[in-house]
Amino acid sequence: MSRPANPRRVTPGMSITGRRLATVTGGPVAVPEAGRLTHLQFRRFAGCPVCNLHLRSVVARHDEILAAGIREVVVFHSSAEDLRPHVADLPFAVVPDPGKRLYAEFGVEAAPRSLLHPRALWAIIQGVLRDLGPVLLRRRPAPSLVPPGGNLGLPADLLIDGEGRVLAVKYGDHAYDQWPVDTLLALARAHSTTPPSSTRQNR
């Protein structure tokens, strides 16, 4: 039986209301930003090994992402205090949302299936092994086994133009189900000459 769609989920062509979000550094980040694309990522909790594995692939190609006119904004359902030791070296905006306000607004869910897919399980193993050295050397704290907001979160990706129009969306079916960088860059290229469609809903 198919799962009913979350009515809060956004779809391409919708428009989001402009906002300024507080980041872990205390400074605000505007979403959207005029003249640039915004890749709004919803990840999981501070120190999440799956999230760390994916974000390192984003960091490795961040120059390409910037050159494509895309700005990264990453949301976690953890506090700024919990996030800082884990994201201090990331070259893009990280937004704490411990109350999951943005998750609810954009229809980003949590479910047991987040950890049950083979790709998610393999990513967890890879992420844990990758982070093991820094944790053992006390260069980074270990993630909580019972993180605030839970550990069953599902990821989501939105590509938003400078006027707030949603160009593309992906809601993950498991914890490691997100756009790879190649997909993000391809979406940016595909929409670089696409004329705006009518706005269907504000968020």
Task: Find out whether 29 and 95 touch, Cβ atoms under 8 Å.
Answer: yes
Q: What is the pLDDT of residue 6?
A: 81
- Can you name the residues that pair with 15 across neighbouring β-strands? 165, 202
Taking residues 65-93, report their average pLDDT. Answer: 94
Q: What is the pLDDT of residue 1?
A: 41
pTM > 0.75: yes
Task: Find out whether 187 and 179 touch, Cβ atoms under 8 Å.
Answer: yes
CATH topology of domain 19-191: Glutaredoxin (3.40.30)
- Separate counts of helices (H) and strands (E) for the chain: 6, 7
Q: Which residue, among 1, 2, 33, 6, has the nearest Cα to 154 in the 3D structure?
A: 6
pLDDT at 21 over 50: yes
Residue ranges per structural domain of the chain? 19-191
Tokens 């979403």 sit on residue: 31
**Distance from C-alpha of 71 to C-alpha of 159, rounded to nearest angstrom:** 10
pLDDT digits (tens, 9 = 90+) for 170-195: 999 999 999 999 999 999 999 875 54
